């Protein structure tokens, strides 16, 4: 089974002013003359991490990462103004132009798959191919499943902790209840809600369950940006014109664009049915179902298939 490549340092990094309010962090590592790839982190609000560099052979890829608006090393932290899907798509184009990239591979998981697809249907001519994990299209069904009551049937212990900040009378619409607290003026209530929201995802991402929750999901700063920005996007339905819009766009615009999709069979955060629908709508994408994995990009079977995918694309585009 393939494992992550060894840790590497960045070759260069910088900050890009994308509006009067927002400045985003970007970095490059690997081979400056290699195949350009942009890594699109999850959340939204999750920020990039050094581990993302390790899915690519640094001798073959020019690895570009960035922190989306309001999170990671981008500023202002946890900011919701001027923060939507189409602003982030525009930011990716600004990075491409600033770094002198003609076309690139787009690599993203979870919300990163959403943004990668949004970019690809908008700037198809700039995409060599897509490598996606944990497909998520921000449909009403997906939101209801994970943030209202569906996943509670599989993780009832974690779900009870998730809803703790919300009074019983408001639990009929958890998204609205959390949004009220995450955007309210009560700092203590905001952080309590943010940590409950973040830990819910942290406790359900791996097939190993709550005991494998990454420590960062309990950190105030990370949880605040992660929960606020996610909830902001989900309340606004991804800023898409209609429910199911992204799937329709993929069917219309991604013909001829090669894709590799990796999805855990037991992914509770973004159930596999959405990936199945996308594969049927996009015949040029190949779906690899990992039989013993959940949502986490670091589940061993997911790592193996993602690195297999980056190696396949390296051969295809070198």
β-pairing, 259-264 with 285-290? parallel
Beta-carbon neighbour count of residue 126 at 10 Å? 18
Q: Residue written as tokens 């359900």? A: 204
**173-188 CB burial, b ≥16 within 10 A, e <16:** ebeebbbebbeeeeee
Its sign, for the CA torsion 186, 187, 188, 190, is: positive
Catalytic, out of 41, 232, 263, 295? 295
Catalytic, out of 74, 78, 110, 113? 110
295 given a catalytic annotation: yes
Q: Residue written as tokens 């894709």? A: 259
Q: How far is CA 213 from CA 11, 202, 204, 208, in A?
A: 31, 5, 8, 9
Judged by phi (left if over 0) then psi (alpha if -120 to 50, else beta), residue 111 lies in: alpha
Six-digit token string for 316: 């295809």
Q: Residue written as tokens 């049927």? A: 280
Q: Residue written as tokens 């999750």? A: 46
267 given a catalytic annotation: yes
Give the span between the Cα atoms of 313 and 307, in whole angstroms: 10
Catalytic, out of 267, 296, 297, 299? 267
* Residues β-bridged to residue 285: 259
Give the span between the Cα atoms of 18 and 148, in whole angstroms: 34
Strand order in the sheet with 61-66: 12-17, 23-30, 61-66, 35-40, 104-109, 127-133, 259-264, 285-290
Residues known to be catalytic: 110, 267, 295
């Amino acid at each position: 089974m393939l494992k992550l490549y060894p840790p590497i340092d960045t070759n260069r990094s910088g900050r890009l002013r994308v509006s009067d309010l927002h400045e985003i962090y970007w970095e490059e590592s690997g081979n400056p003359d290699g195949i350009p790839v942009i890594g699109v982190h999850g959340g939204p609000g999750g920020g990039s991490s050094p581990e993302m560099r390790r899915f690519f052979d640094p001798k073959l890829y020019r690895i570009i990462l960035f922190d989306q608006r309001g999170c990671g090393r981008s500023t202002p932290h946890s900011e919701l103004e001027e923060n939507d899907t189409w602003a982030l798509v525009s930011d990716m184009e600004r990075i491409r132009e600033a770094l002198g990239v003609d076309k690139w591979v787009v690599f993203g998981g979870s919300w990163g798959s959403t943004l990668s697809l949004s970019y690809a249907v908008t700037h198809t001519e700039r995409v060599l191919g897509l490598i996606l994990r944990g497909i998520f299209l921000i449909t009403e069904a997906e939101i209801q499943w994970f943030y209202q009551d569906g996943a509670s049937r599989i993780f009832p212990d974690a779900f009870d902790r998730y809803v703790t900040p919300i009074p019983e009378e408001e639990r009929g619409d958890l998204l609205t209840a959390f949004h009220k607290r995450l955007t309210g003026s009560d700092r203590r209530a905001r952080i309590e809600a943010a940590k409950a929201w973040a830990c819910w995802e942290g406790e359900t991402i791996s097939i190993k369950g709550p005991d494998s929750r990454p420590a960062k999901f309990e950190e105030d700063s990370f949880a605040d940006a992660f929960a606020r920005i996610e909830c902001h996007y989900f309340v606004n339905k991804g800023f898409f014109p209609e429910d199911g819009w992204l799937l329709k766009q993929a069917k219309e615009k991604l013909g001829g664009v090669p894709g590799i999709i990796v999805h855990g069979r037991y992914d509770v955060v973004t159930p596999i049915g959405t990936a199945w629908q996308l594969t049927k709508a996009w015949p040029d994408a190949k779906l690899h179902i990992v039989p013993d994995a959940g949502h986490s990009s670091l589940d061993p079977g997911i790592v193996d298939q993602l690195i297999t995918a980056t190696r396949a694309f390296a051969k295809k585009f070198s």
